[in-house]
Every structure is written in structure tokens, then in C-alpha cells.
Structure 1
Amino acid sequence: MKLVRIFVFFFLAAALLFSSAGPVSAVEKPRIQNMPGFQSVITANLSAAHQFLAISKSNPAPGKIGSQAKKPAAKAQKVAYITFDDGPNRYTSQILTILKNKKVKATFFAVEPNIKAYKTSMIRVNREGHYIGLHSVTHNATKVYKGSSINVAKEMETTRKTLNSVVKVNHYLVRVPYGSKPYMKKPFRDWLVKYKFKMWDWTIDTNDWRYKTSQYTSIINNVKTAVPKVEKQKKPIIILMHERPQTVKALPQIIDYLKGRGYTLVPYHPKQHVVSNFWGDGRL
């Protein structure tokens, strides 16, 4: 396009030079205009200039087309969330090593006393790019759910403060013990909202806690059975596991399976929060 403009400029300049009154003297002007073919040259130059202008408008330069045409939409990334409850504990380091070797990230829901007991593991979880959520102090259904509706929020707040003292992070994602149904009725959820917490359940339960270490393949099969069903429901893939030896055995194959289906395994991030609780409470 730039070359076309330069070309047109010189044509017009030539035309103006020979056709308009300017510094040419009264004696010279008639002589120039009476030169053989002068008028035909001017006419041809002006005609060519108009043609180039018309062509340049109807056929923009290749570099300009992209600014007008819409770029194809980028394909949405398929993400899955692997989550671990009840830690940290003596199996946390093994889980972290597997995640590191497989180059994936996860989310850990920590119990407050374990944060204190396994500070080194908790620090490593954070350092290696995983997210740490809150999983209560007592993990006791009677203590958490049978008393005042503020109890859950208070235990999560205590856990949050302990986590902050160890890892120096302020995290507000919680997973309540044994899942939010039937326990987390509206008064309980209202308190979580007041404390600015978000609450996650899960869409796939591996039931890993039910199996012995020798039965770890059942955990893998549970995941393989559940994932296609959740995909059809168009729900996020949020997988519940626990920090146990049978889970350690099953984890590498579960990761490979998810990768094979095109998933990227990521940690929770508050800026990409998705609502996933059994009550469908959009506040959480």
C-alpha cells in the first residue's frame, strides 16, 4: 500500500508540474504545453493514478486484511482438578513427587492440626505451585454440624489463620468434612459467605478410602467410569481423593488417563473460580 501511494504521488506531481501555472515563465509555458504528445502523457498519467487508487481501495494490502477479518476463536482448554483431602501427612511428599514428575498441579484441602504437624510438607505444597484449601479443625461431623450454624465458618477461619502463619498465604476456598449435603443448610452457608469463603465439593468421588493398597486399580476404574458421565453433564472435572497409600499407587495412571483425554491438570485459582457445591449456591 505504501508503494502504491508513492507511485500515485509521483504521477500527480508530474501532472501538476506540467499542467498548472507555476514558476514556468509565460514564454516557456506555451512551449512546454505545445511539445508533441504532452497532453496525451498528462492524460495517461492521471488515468493510471486513478486506476491505482481504485485498485488499492478494492484490494487492500495483505498485511491489512487481518485487521478487518476476525481471527478464529481459540479452542477452550480442557482442565481437570485433582484434589486431596485430610492432609498433610506422611504420604504428602510421595504425592508431590508424582505430581512434579508428571508436570501437573493439584489442590490440597488441609486439616488444621496437620498443617502444624507437617509444616515442611505444607510449605513444599505451596512452593511447587499447588493450591491449599481449608478442611476444618476437628473434621468431626458432630462438633462441626450439630452445634451453632457459625461453627463451620469458625473452624475454617482458624484453619485459614494457621495456614497463613505457616505458609504466608490467605486462602478462602473450603471443603467441609464429608461434603456439604445434607449438613450445610442455608444458615451454615450464610456464615461462610459472611467470612468471604468459597466452598467446593466434587463431581467425581474416587472412593479411594474404601480400598486396600492392593486394590488400587479399583480407584483408577472409578475415575475412568465417572469422567465420561461428568463430561456429558458438562460439569467441571473435580476429583476427590485422599492422601493414602492406595491413592499414591493409583495416582500416576489417573493422571495419564486424564492427559490422554486432553485434560490439563491445574490447581484451583480464585480468579478462575467455578461454582461447584452440592447446593448449587452461587454465592459460594
Structure 2
Amino acid sequence: MSDKPENGLKQELDRRKRINRIKSIIVSFVGIWMLASVILCATLFVKVIHLENNLNKVLQNMPQVEQVENEETKNSPDADTGKNVEYGKQDQTGQDDANKKKADDGEKLKVYLTFDDGPSTNTQQILDILKQYNVKATFFVIGKTDDLSKEMYKKIVEEGHTLGMHSYSHKYSVIYDSMSAFEQDFNQIHDYLKEVTGVDCKYYRFPGGSSNQVSNSDMREFIRYLNDRGITYYDWNVSSGDATSQAYTADELIQNVMGDVTKYKTSVVLMHDSAVKPATVEALPALIEQLQGIGAEILPIDENTATVHHVNIDGEQGQ
């Protein structure tokens, strides 16, 4: 009889041991799972930070042409329509009406083809086309330090075109942040181009034009700074439309230009020397032929070129 209570006690102890083992296994499993989750989260966090750092490095080292194109598209005064906006309202620019072409005056048109944002991989093609037609143009360039760009700066000058400045960085948030920032960027592009080409550049085009809406400072202060330095700035009164996000065909770019050049005695035409604008290169030969066909004189900007300004100061006159 005494063996039964002892057996029952032993069975109860065994049962409790099994339960405790099961509890230990469950607790261990939960602990391991939680630890693994923490390690996984920490690993993923580190990887995200690493990827962000790599992405920032990639963005900083991306070819500048894409950034230039995006900013020019967003901030160009004619970006919404793809056509030339009629700057020259008396309350905005003090337009010189004498520079407007009259339909019956018979005076020969002067057309200045200008290319912004270069050099690029398209610059050589543009230069070759201009040479083929014995035409000189104006290149408002930005700062690029690669060997191809340096070669293009030199070729622009050597082949008789006008070399103008379009800022060094073309970063609106930097250039227009303050007068000191603008001055620093101006000196950088001016001195760099002089070092590479020997040319003391005297012509400037504001990124986005003098009427841009993104500057944190009064654009008239920047204009006065250029005036004090003996620098002439040029906007445009005719646009090809290649600064916009709309993908114009070569024929449409030509139509945009030809539809407006007959309005002015002096037309300064906005185009872009960008690697992502093949239609501009494609349109150039036919555009030159059509301009020559109406008897227009195609010239590079020089000291005799009538100024075309969106914003004027101190009572100066421009178109």
C-alpha cells in the first residue's frame, strides 16, 4: 500500500519537471526571437544609413547637365508655355520701342543665336553646323572642369564665337542666396574661363533670366554689381522653347523661333547646349537656312549688340 503514494508523488514531480522544461523552451525561444529581431532591425538601420550616404555621394557626383536642365526648365520665365513671353512691358522693362521692328521699315533683321548651359557632348556638333554655314553665335557657359569641356571652351573662342558667362554652378539656391554668394560664383566662372581660354569675358546671362522668380535677393542689386564690373547682361526676346519640359520636335523649335524673330529688329534667341537636347542640334541647320532665307543677319553678341533685358534699372533702356 505504501508504494502507491510514492509512485503518485514521483509522477507528479516528473510532470512538473516536464512543464518547467516546456516553459524554459518557450521562454528561450521568445528570448532568441526578440534578440534576433533587435539585431535584424539594427542591421537594417545601419544599411539604410549607408545607402543614404552612398546616394548623396552619387547625387553630388552626377553630371551637372541633368541638374542644370531641371533648374532651367522649372525657373525659366517661358517654361510654362514653351514660347517667348512678351517681356518688354513698360512697367517691367522700360522697353525701347525703337528696337521693335515695324512691318514696313524694310530694315535688315539682326538675329543672335545664344546657347546656354554648355559645354556638353553636343557642343562639337553645334560648332560644326555653325562652321558649315559660316555663322557665329554666342555661348553662355557654366563651369565644368573635364577635359572635353575645356577643349570646347577653347574651340568656341578659336572659331570666332562669343564666350559668355552663365554662372559657375548654375545652382539657383546658391547663386541667388546673397550678394556675396553671387559675387563668389561670378568671380569663379570669370576667372576660370580666363584661365582656360585667356578671354576676359564681358557678357553674362542670369540663370533663369533676370526676371526669374526664385532669387532670394533683389535682382537689381546683382545687375548693379555687373554694371560696376563693366559686364553687360543679356536676357532674350525669342525662345526656341527647348528650356521647357515639353518635348518639342526640331520642326516645332524652328516654328517657335521663326514665329517671333520678325517682331524685332534685334532678336536674341534662347537655345540650350545640353546633352539631353538633341532636337536643338537637329533643328539648327534648317533654322539657320530659314533665317538666311528671310535675309536675317546672324551675329555673335558684341559691344555693338542692342541689349535685351527683362529687368532694367536706373532708367536704362532695353528690349
1:127-166 pair list within 5 angstroms: 127-145=158-176, 147-166=177-196
CA–CA separation in structure 2 for the residues paired with 1:150 and 1:77: 43
- The answer for the alignment partner of 1:226 in structure 2 is 260
Number of matched residues? 204
Structure 1 residue 78, shift from structure 2 partner: 3.4
Instruction: Tell me if structure 1 keeps the 8 A contact 2:220–2:311.
Output: no
For residues 76-102 of structure 1, what are the alpha-carbon distances to aligned partners after superposition, in whole Å with 9 as ceiling and x for unaligned? 653210000000111000000000001
Structure 1 CA distance, aligned partners of 2:178 and 2:128?
40
Q: Quick one: which of 277, 281, 287 aligns to 1:248? A: 281
1:113 aligns to 2:144 (yes or no): yes
| 1:115–1:135 Cα change, 3 Å | farther
Partner SS state of residue 238, structure 1: strand
Q: Work out whether residues 220 and 312 of structure 2, in 8 Å CA contact, stay in contact via their aligned partners in 1.
A: no
- In the TM superposition, residue 111 of structure 1 has moved relative to its aligned partner by 0.1
Report the 3-state secondary structure (helix = DSSP H, G, I; strand = E; otherwise coil) of the residue aligned with 1:113. coil
Residue aligned with 1:257, SS: helix
* Cα separation, partners in 2 of 1:77 and 1:225, compared to 1, 3 Å: closer
Partner of 2:69: none
DSSP-derived class of the 2:179 partner: coil
SS at match of 2:284: helix
SS of corresponding position for 1:208? coil
TM-score, structure 1 as length reference: 0.66
Instruction: Output the CA distance in 1 between the equivalents of 2:136 and 2:187.
Output: 25
Give distance in 1, aligned partners of 2:307 and 2:240. Answer: 20
Give TM-score, length-normalised by structure 2: 0.59
1:19 — aligned with what? none
Does residue 257 (structure 1) correspond to residue 287 (structure 2)? The answer is: no
Question: CA 1:196/1:204 → structure 2, altered by over 3 Å: closer, same or farther?
Answer: same
Change (3 A) 1:224 1:105: same
Residue in structure 1 matched with residue 198 of structure 2 by the alignment: 168
- Structure 2: how far apart are the matches of 1:176 and 1:257? 29
- Residue in 2 that maps onto 1:268: 301
Post-superposition offset of 1:171: 1.1
Q: Please state if 1:124 is matched with 2:158.
A: no
Partner of 1:53: none
Choose from 207, 216, 222 the match for 1:188.
222
* Residues 249-282 of structure 1: CA deviation (Å, up to 9, x unaligned): 0001111111111112111112x14221101343
Label 1:174 to 1:214 Cα distance change in 2 as closer, same or farther (>3 A): closer
Aligned match for 1:91, one of 110, 122, 137: 122
Secondary structure of 1:80 counterpart = strand
| 2:240 paired residue number | 206
Q: Does residue 114 of structure 2 align to residue 80 of structure 1? A: no
Q: Which structure is larger by alpha-carbon Rg, 1 or 2?
A: 1
CA distance in 1, matches of 2:145, 2:119: 6
Correspondent of 2:309 among 263, 274, 277: 277
Amino acid in structure 2 at the alignment position of 1:218: E
For 1:82, what is the secondary structure of its paired residue?
strand
Higher RCO, 1 vs 2 (CA within 8 Å, ≥6 residues apart): 2
State the Cα RMSD in Å: 2.3
Structure 2 letter corresponding to 1:176? F
1:153 to 1:197, Cα distance in 2 relative to 1, 3 A: farther
Q: Is the 8 A contact 1:85 1:242 kept in 2?
A: yes
Distance 1:176 1:114 in 2: 21
Relative to structure 1, is the Cα distance of residues 175 and 197 closer, same or farther in structure 2, using a 3 angstrom cutoff? same
Give the 4+ runs in structure 1 shifted more than 4 A.
114-117, 211-214
Unmatched runs of 5 consecutive residues or more in structure 2:
1-105
Q: Tell me the alpha carbon deviations over residues 227-263 of structure 1, each in whole angstroms, 9 at most, x when there is no partner.
A: 23x23xx5x2100000131100000111111111111
Partners of 1:83 and 1:238 within 8 A in 2:
yes
